[in-house]
Amino acid sequence: MAKVSGNNAPVRRKRTANLILLGLGILVVVLAVLSFLVGRYPISPDKVVAMLVDRIIPVDAFWTDQEETIFFNVRLPRVVMAMLVGCCLSSAGAAYQGTFQNPLVSPDILGASQGAAFGAAVAILLGFASFGISAMAFVFAIITVLLVIAVAQAARGNQVLTVVLAGVMVSSLFSAGVSFTKLIADPADQLPAITYWLMGSLTSAKPSDVYMAFPPMFIGLVVLFVLRWKINILTMGDDEASTMGVNTKLLRMVIILAATLVTAASVAVTGMIGWVGLVIPHLSRMLIGSDYRKLMPASMLMGASFLLLVDDVSRLATTAEIPIGILTAFIGAPFFLYLITREGRKRK
């Protein structure tokens, strides 16, 4: 009987993991629906459904023009962007942590966030509009990571270590660039704009931002989802992965580029939102285990739910919206401290 029970254990674990993923999926849907309804101008559920249906099949309008404008131009892109960015940052964090075999790695480890910040700051100095700022942030984020990879390729030694060290160095360089732009910015309008962008926010999310960010996000997320089982192999170490016939150098580079792509697209449209990519993968690991076949989709769903919830708090907590980057830091830092002390108690 014990043997039968042991054989059934993997089946039970798989069933439990699938139920957890189903629950996380339902949670995302529920939070998205609530996010559509709440706000400074609440919209009733029947109007939300009717307005969405009206885009496919015309129905008799019983909503105001103001409600339609708020829903399609403000609330819908903001909710969609919150889900996409949360999904991207958390999946990128999980991918980096597995690829670099380091639980303290986050999506900005290769300097994408600082590169994007520098690009956005320069765009603000040059007087670019919102789309131009996002485009510059995205381009500089990609340039930063390509520079990191080039430096790491030129250096000798452990590839993982050189990539991380190159990321720290290049990130520091672009951080200094951001500080310089703040120094020469006009304190009346440019400096506040740069400072607010660095805090991270979904306040200005527009349909054009979704259209711009979705293609790179989709490509990167698909790559990470398809290759999620191979991240399990990378966590075993390069030597063991090589014995299994895996080209670890190529695989690691593909995963890094995909994770960087979704990170760059996220930061470009929302500014710097920290802690999501560091904390959510840990929380998902506690909930569903370390198997990336389940951990990656769990991180995606939990990241989307987390950012939806935090954005709702940002919108409703005070009369003036709190930048979402501040809230994620307030939540993420104490939670990560709890994780560290929890692991320390386990070892004793």
pLDDT band per the 50, 70, 90 thresholds, residue 343: low
- Tens digit of each residue's pLDDT (9 = 90 or more) over 151-186: 888 877 777 788 888 888 999 999 999 999 999 999
Average per-residue pLDDT in the chain? Answer: 88
Residue 315 in this model has a pLDDT that exceeds 60: yes
**Distance (Å, rounded) from C-alpha 92 to C-alpha 221?**
9
Mapping DSSP onto H, E and C, the string for 8-41 reads HHHHHHHHHHHHHHHHHHHHHHHHHHHHHHCCCC
Residue 201 in this model has a pLDDT that exceeds 50: yes
Would you tell me how many other CB atoms lie within 10 Å of the CB of residue 241?
19
Place of tokens 């910040």: 117
- Tens digit of each residue's pLDDT (9 = 90 or more) over 272-294: 898 899 899 999 998 998 899 99
Helices H, strands E: what count in the chain?
A: 15, 0
Would you say 75 and 308 are in contact if contact means Cβ atoms under 8 Å apart? no
pLDDT given for residue 240 in this prediction: 79
Please indicate whether residue 254 or residue 348 has the higher confidence score (pLDDT). 254
pLDDT band per the 50, 70, 90 thresholds, residue 10: confident
Residue 348 in this model has a pLDDT that exceeds 60: no
pLDDT band per the 50, 70, 90 thresholds, residue 1: very low
- Percent with pLDDT over 90 in the chain: 51
Label residue 184 exposed, middle or buried (CB < 10 Å: 0-12, 13-18, 19+).
exposed
**Distance (Å, rounded) from C-alpha 86 to C-alpha 273?**
9
- Tens digit of each residue's pLDDT (9 = 90 or more) over 46-60: 998 899 898 888 888
This prediction has a pTM of 0.91
- Tens digit of each residue's pLDDT (9 = 90 or more) over 64-97: 889 899 999 999 999 999 999 999 999 999 999 9
pLDDT band per the 50, 70, 90 thresholds, residue 347: low
The four Cα atoms 245, 248, 251, 256 give a dihedral, to 10 degrees, of 170
pLDDT given for residue 6 in this prediction: 53
pLDDT given for residue 335 in this prediction: 80
pLDDT given for residue 308 in this prediction: 95
pLDDT given for residue 62 in this prediction: 86
Which stretches within 155-247 are classed as H helix? 159-184, 190-199, 207-226, 228-234, 238-243
Please indicate whether residue 115 or residue 333 has the higher confidence score (pLDDT). 115
**Distance (Å, rounded) from C-alpha 236 to C-alpha 252?**
13
First to last CA, the chain: 35
Q: What is the CATH number of domain 76-347?
A: 1.10.3470.10
Interval 112-118 mean pLDDT: 92
Residues 6 or more apart in contact with residue 195 via CB below 8 angstroms: 182
Please indicate whether residue 309 or residue 243 has the higher confidence score (pLDDT). 309
Interval 205-214 mean pLDDT: 91
